[in-house]
């Protein structure tokens, strides 16, 4: 049974995927999408979210850490932008918080 701390990461992953859909297909700040941008953001934002979802279902803490590290570079960039897409930075750091709480709940961090 997945733990409550991993559920925090699951919610962050779902929010991240929804934000990615908005960024690429319903962007209020731009009316054009580039294939390169779509691919890069898919690789840097959606794939880590899928890893976080996998971490939730398998209760593997290391995958939540991998999701955080993988999404961090682009999420930090988007965190400094005005508008709704700064939430990517928050979702990335939520992966880290989920990882720490998952480790703490298993008794590995004191």
> Phi and psi dihedrals of 60, rounded to 5?
-105, 115
| Cβ atoms of 9 and 95 closer than 8 Å | yes
Query: Half-sphere exposure (CA, 13 Å, Cβ side) for 49?
Result: 22
| Cβ atoms of 98 and 48 closer than 8 Å | no
Tens of pLDDT along the chain (110 residues) come to: 566 878 999 999 999 999 999 998 888 887 777 788 889 999 999 999 999 999 999 989 999 999 999 999 999 999 998 889 999 999 999 999 999 999 998 776 64
| Cβ atoms of 105 and 5 closer than 8 Å | yes
Helix (H, G, I), strand (E, B) or coil at 83: coil
């Amino acid at each position: 049974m997945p733990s409550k701390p991993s559920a925090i990461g699951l919610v962050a992953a779902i929010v991240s995927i929804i934000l990615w859909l908005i960024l690429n297909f319903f962007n209020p700040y731009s009316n054009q999408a580039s294939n390169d941008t779509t691919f890069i953001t898919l690789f840097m934002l959606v794939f880590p979210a899928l890893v976080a979802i996998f971490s939730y279902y398998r209760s593997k803490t290391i995958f939540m850490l991998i999701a955080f590290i993988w999404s961090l570079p682009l999420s930090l960039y988007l965190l400094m932008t005005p508008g709704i897409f700064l939430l990517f930075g928050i979702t990335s750091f939520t992966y880290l918080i989920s990882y720490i709480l998952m480790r703490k709940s298993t008794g590995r961090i004191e």
